[in-house]
Amino acid sequence: MAASASGSSSLFENSFPTTAYGAASASSPLKAREITRRAVGPHDVLLDILYCGICHSDIHQARNEWPETLATQYPSVPGHEIIGRVIAVGNAVTKFKVGDIGGVGCIVNSCGVCENCLADREQNCLNGAIFTYNSPDAALGGFTYGGYSEKIVVAEHFVIRIPPGADLAATAPLLCAGITTFSPMQHWKLASGQHVGVVGLGGLGHIAVKLAVARKAKVTVFTTSPGKIADARRLGAQEAILWSDQAAMAKLTGQLDLLISTVPHAYPMQPFMDTLKLDATLVNVGALNTLQGLNGMMLAFGRKSLAGSVIGGIAETQEVIDYCTARNIKADIELIRPDQINNAFDRVVNKDVRYRFVIDMKAVKACGAVVGVPIAHDVAPAMRAGEILDLA
C-alpha cells in the first residue's frame, strides 16, 4: 500500500480527481475540467499546487503548434513551472516531508539507467524523458497532465526542493525559463567579463539577462520591441538594440562570446551569427521548429557554432533554484487567476507581458470550479512510482 508519513494522505491511496484547466482541441479555450491523478506511491510526493507559470511552450502545445514533432493529445492540461506544498509523501520518500515546498519543472520521469540519465541529463534520456504534460502516462494510461491544476503526484527524484525564503510565485518560472537559460551558460562556461547576447526579451530572455548579469558578463539584448529597450537596461543589460537597427548590428560584428536565442519561433539567424567571435556559439533554446537563413560559408569562415539546448537535468535545476534564491534572482511576474489563462495566452502571443504570467492556483475556488475532493473508492488501483522507474 502507499502508506504515508501523513495521516491525511491515506485519502490518496487510490487515484483521485482534481480540478485542472485544459483545452479539448487546438482551437478551443482552456476550461475547468476534472482530471485524475495517480495514487501516491512509495516514492511519490503529492503537491497541492500554489503557483504555475505560463510558458510559451504551453501555448504551442495547447494549440498543437508542433504537430510533426510533438503532436498534442487532448484534453491538454499544460503547465511545467509548478510550485506546491507537499501534502502527502510515500513511505520510501526521503527528500520531502509533509509541509515542505516542492517544485516541478518540465520532466516527471525518465529511464534512470541510460548514460544520459546516469550523467544527470534526464532531459536528454535516450529512452525518452516523460514530460510533465503531453507524454505517455505509465500509471494511468493516456497522457500526462501539467500544473494548471490543483494537485499533482510526482516521483520525488523529479521534485525540486524550494529553499525557505524563496518568493514562491516569482520562483515558479525558474523551473523552465530559469533552467533553460542557466544550463547553456554553465555548459558554454559564460564567465565574468565575457560579452553575451540575448535574443528576445520575454519570459526566458529577461531571466537570461538577470543570470548573465549575476555572472558579471557584459550583456547585449536584441529586441523587436522599442518599449523593451529601457527594460533591458533596468534588468542590467549594458546595451539593448532593435533588430532593425542595422548600424547597431554592424557595430557588433565579431564581438560576442556567446548568444542565447530565446525567441519562440524561427527567424533569419545569420545577422546574429555575424555578431559572434571566432569559435563562439549561438545557442537556440526558443525556436523548436525548422530554422531559417543560415549561411554555411559564414559559419565555416568564422568557425562558428549553432547549438541547441533544452531545459536541464534535475540536479542542475536544483542548482539554479538554489543559486537564484541565494541571490534573490526571480522572474518579473503578473499574477493571474485560472479564469484569466486564455486572455494571458493571447497577451503572451502579442508580446504583452512583463515578463511572465503566473497562475495563482489557489484561486481555483474563487473561480467556482472545484472538484478534487479525494474519494477513496470506485477507482482502479494505481501503479506505484517505483514500478515506473523500473521501466528500462
Taking the complex as a whole, how short is the minimal distance between the CB of residue 325 and Zn ion, in angstroms?
A: 20
Rounded to an integer, what distance in angstroms lies between the CA atom of residue 124 and that of residue 312? Answer: 9
Between strands 151-155 and 44-53, the pairing is antiparallel
**Residue 183 interacting with Zn ion (CB under 5 A):** no
**Residue 175 interacting with Zn ion (CB under 5 A):** no
| CB closer to Zn ion out of 57 and 76 | 57
Which residues, 81 to 110, sit near Zn ion by CB under 5 A? 110
Partnered with residue 45 across adjacent β-strands are 89, 154
Rounded to an integer, what distance in angstroms lies between the CA atom of residue 329 and that of residue 173? Answer: 11
Handedness of CA 50, 79, 264, 63 (dihedral sign): negative
**Alpha helix positions (H), 3-90:** 56-62
- Site map 277..306 versus Zn ion, x via CB under 5 A: ------------------------------
| Cα–Cα distance list, 124 to 42, 110, 148, 308 (Å) | 26, 9, 25, 12
Q: Which DSSP letter does residue 188 get?
A: T
Which residues, 37 to 56, sit near Zn ion by CB under 5 A? 55
Rounded to an integer, what distance in angstroms lies between the CA atom of residue 232 and that of residue 228? Answer: 6
**Site for Zn ion (CB under 5 A): which residue of 30, 45, 176, 204?**
176
**Site for Zn ion (CB under 5 A): which residue of 39, 86, 104, 111?**
111
Place of cell 537556440: 284
Residue 212 near residue 219 (C-beta atoms within 8 A): yes
| CB closer to Zn ion out of 105 and 197 | 105
**Residue 208 interacting with Zn ion (CB under 5 A):** no
Taking the complex as a whole, how short is the minimal distance between the CB of residue 308 and Zn ion, in angstroms?
A: 15
Taking the complex as a whole, how short is the minimal distance between the CB of residue 126 and Zn ion, in angstroms?
A: 5
- Site map 120..159 versus Zn ion, x via CB under 5 A: -----x-x--------------------------------
**Residue 57 interacting with Zn ion (CB under 5 A):** yes
Secondary structure class of 298 (helix, strand, coil): helix
Stretch that binds Zn ion, among 113-121, 195-203, 207-215, 264-272 (CB under 5 A): 113-121
**Residue 369 interacting with Zn ion (CB under 5 A):** no
| CB closer to Zn ion out of 111 and 320 | 111
Secondary structure, 3-state, 137-163: CCCCCCECCCCCECEEEEEHHHCEECC
Contacting positions for Zn ion (CB under 5 A): 55, 57, 110-111, 114, 117, 125, 127, 176
